[in-house]
Chains A and B, each alone.
Chain A
C-alpha cells in the first residue's frame, strides 16, 4: 500500500506533475514585468522548482511564440531583460487554466 510518507515516490510524481505546469506558472507570474532571475526565485518560492537551464531557454521560446514580450530595462545599475505576458499569452494562460479545471473535474468524477 502506498503511504504518503513514502517521500521519494511522492516527490517524483509531484515533480512530474509540476513540470507540466511551469509554463502556466510563468505566464501567470509575468502579468507583471519581471526579469529571468527574479522569475526563477518567485517560482521557487511558489513551489515550482525549475532549473535555470530550463527556465531561461523557455522564456525565449515563449517570446518567439509571441506569448511574451521583452524589453531591456537600463534604468537600474544592472541592465536586465524584462519579460511580460502578451495578449496572446493571456489567452493561452486562460485556455490552459480552463483545461486544468476540466482535468480536475474529470479526475474527481473518476474517483
Chain B
C-alpha cells in the first residue's frame, strides 16, 4: 500500500501543499467562486428534492410508492452514469496518461500501478455523481424522518455502487484493449461510445417514465400501483442499493444490512477480479496500446473541393478542424453520447401522452413549446461546451503556428466560430422543429421558437469560442478536461443566464399575444409597443452575445500569449 500511496502522491501533494484557500489571490477567488456556485447548485438539488418528496408524501395511498419509484430511478440512472464515466476515466488513466512511461519504468508491479490508477479514475469518474446525489438522499432522510442508521446506509451503499461501477467498467476497458487489434486501439473509443449509447438508452427506457404520467395504460388503479411497485432487475447492483436504502428508510435495519452485504460482497469480488485480471494482462495491454495509431478511416473523409468557395484562410482552418476532429477518435465517444441524448430527448417527447392530459389546451402545448425552446438551447450549450469551448485549447502545442502565421487572433477566433456555427445551428434547428412537431404547436410558436433559436445559436457559439480563448488550457489531454474548469463554469452560467433572459423577455409579449388570440380581441397600442420593444431587445441581446465574448476572448488571449 505504501507504493500505491506513493503513486497517488503527485495528485494529492499539490493540493495539500497549497491548501484550498492558501494561494495567489486570483486563484483563491476562482476557487471561492466555484465553491459558491457548487453550493448553490447543491442547495438547489436539495430544495427541489425535498419539495417533490413532501408533495409525494401528501398523496394518499400511492405517495410513498411514487417516492420509492423515484429513488429506484435515481439509483439506476446514477449507476449507468457511473459506468459510462468509469469507462472513459479508466481508459484515459490506464493507457493514455502522459506520465505512464515514467511510472512503468519504475520498479513497481503492474497490478499496483493499475490499482493506483483505478483509485484515481474512480475518484475522477464518481465525484460529481456523488456530490449531486447526496442532497437527494438527504432530502429522503429528512422527509421520511429517518434515523442515523439511514444516513450511514445511503453513504456506504453509494460508495459500494461507485466501487462496483468503476471495477466493472475498468475490467471492460482492460479486456477491450486486449481484444481489439493494437493498430485499432483507438477504435475502443468507438466501441465504448456505442456501448454507452446502448447502456444509457436502456437505463432510460427501463425507467419508463411516461408511465408515471399516463395511468390509462393500466386497466385499473391497482395495476398501475402494482406497476410502480414492481422491482427493478434483481441482479442489478442499483437494485441491491435501492433495497438497502429503502429498508433503512422504513426502519428495517436487518433487511437493510442484508442487502448492503450483498452489494459489498459483490463490490469486493469485482475489485478482486479486476486486480487479478490486471496482474495478468494490464502491462501487455499497455504495451499493445503504445503502437502508433492507425487511422480508422483510411480513405479521405473530407472532400476538400466542397470548401473551395471559402476564402483561403477560412478554408484552410475549416479543412484542418474537420480532419483533426474526424481523426481524433477520443471525440467520437462524446459524439455518440450526444447523439444518444438528442435521440432520447426527442423520443421522450414522442411518448408523452399529451392527448390524455386532463388540462390539455393550446395554452399548455405552447407553454411546453416555450419551455422546450429553453431546453433545446440548453442542449446546445452542453454540446458547445464539448466542442466549441475547447476549440482554441485543442490547438495545444501547435498554437505557435497561429501566432507566427499572418492572421491576427481576431481572424483566428472568427474562423473558429464559422467552423462550429453551421453544424450547431443545423443540430439545434432540427431539435426544435422535431420536438415542436411532436408537441403539435401552432405555426406562430413554431416560427417564434425557430427564429429565437436562430438568433441565439451564434451567441452561444460565440461565447464558447470567446470564453474558451479567454480561459485556454493548452495542456489539457482531451476536450472534456478543458470544459471542467473555471472558464467552463463561467461559460455554462453565462449561457444559462442568456437563455433565461431571452425566455423571460419573450414570455410577456407571447402571453399577451395568446390571450388576444384566445379572446379574439385586437392588441392595444401599448401592448404592440411592448411586443416590439421586447423582440427588439432580444435582437440586441443576441447581437451583444455574438460580439462581446469574441472581443473579450481576443483581448485575453493576446495578453496571455504575449
| Bind each other | no
Interface residues of B (CB under 8 A from A): none
A: which residues have CB within 8 A of B? none
